[in-house]
Structure 1
Amino acid sequence: MPAILPGQTDIYALTDARLSLGRPVAEVARALLDAGVRLLQYREKRLPAGAMLEECRELRRMTREAGACFIVNDHVDIAMLVGADGVHVGQDDLPVPEVRRLVGPDMIIGLSTHSPEQALGAVAAGADYIGVGPLFATRTKEDVVAPVGFSYLDWVVANIRLPFVAIGGIKAWNAAEVAAHGADCCALVSALVGAEDIGAAVAEARAAVRAGKAARGRS
């Protein structure tokens, strides 16, 4: 099954057990996949490595059955052990060329970027896609950088040909504006995993992205 990149699907969901209303990660992932999410990142920061490995094995099985792409955040070793489709790293993690040496030619590598210089560096380093953000203030990461706003997103749309996902503080109520600025794929965390009805939340976010893309086409 070919891996799915941002731009080939509209919603990029990330896990976060702290925001999931006490529900297990696997239960939340099942609801996301049942709602049609086809790009899922495992991002858990506070578990022992062994526990993360077991959760990732379960999510790898579920995503494979659903025909979805499975990305592991930061932990290259766990991504390799479970046969994930990809790994996502930040600016302070292992450099993309070194990650590529470890994972081989076929695994997707995503890189978070917060500036034009970092986006150009991602292209030169061989990243398969970039994260663009945080667009808005977000509390889902403890080490988050300041919001970059729409100016950086607009620059990426105009200058970078790599697939990208917009991320950071995106909710259903502002996703349309993000899409109108050129983002074909939006990453959401709390708006999805923290919803009582995850299926309805995914549908609402998807409709917002669709509306924003339509507005872009009319401008």
Structure 2
Amino acid sequence: MIEHLTQPSPAELDALTALWEASVRATHDFLSEEDIPFFRQMVRNEALAAVDLYVIRDTDDRTDRACGSGGTDGTDGADGNRGSTAASPTGETGRDSRANEFGGFTAFAGVAGDMLEMLFVAPGARGKGFGRQLVNHVTRHCGVRRVDVNEQNPQAAGFYERMGFRTAGRDATDPSGRPYPILHMELGHAPHTGLVPIPSLLTDRIDIGFRAEVSDTDTEKQP
């Protein structure tokens, strides 16, 4: 179930940061080892505090409290952003035995206004629909219409395209000025420009700054 994590504890923020790093290491092979500590501190100290967090925990006995909805969002069993250059997503058949490495979290999304700023899935839980569940929820119930992805992460871009997003623009560098191109994607209205969308770090927007994380295995999937 999807939970709106309104007041994360320091331990929960640490766990989400650890999940972010594991996800980025598994999907953002274009990053240098020196990039990881830089983005990690941004995620832990800035990015997580700047978004509304929606999480999936490694347990079945939770009600869906995301975006104030009183029940489930109807996406359970479906497969799954903005991410940073380093900051994805069906019918899960089981729970990831490694989820406890991340404080019991399996996946999370970060939303600011109509932007999906972060989307990450624990490496061992990819391909089970968690990313798709989160994207479905935040687009249907939280007003998300935009996401940034790293151009060097084509799996995430492809995932978002399958979720209805289209490339509307491109920047040659990420928000920190690093040479990681960012694709700006919008839900269902921007014409296809011929660019191959690729997600960023923090959310399969995964812009380096914090764009989401996804992979084709997460579709059935970001990022």
* TM-score, L = length of structure 1: 0.27
Larger Rg: 1
* Structure ranking higher in strand proportion: 2
* Structure ranking higher in helix proportion: 1
* TM-score, L = length of structure 2: 0.26
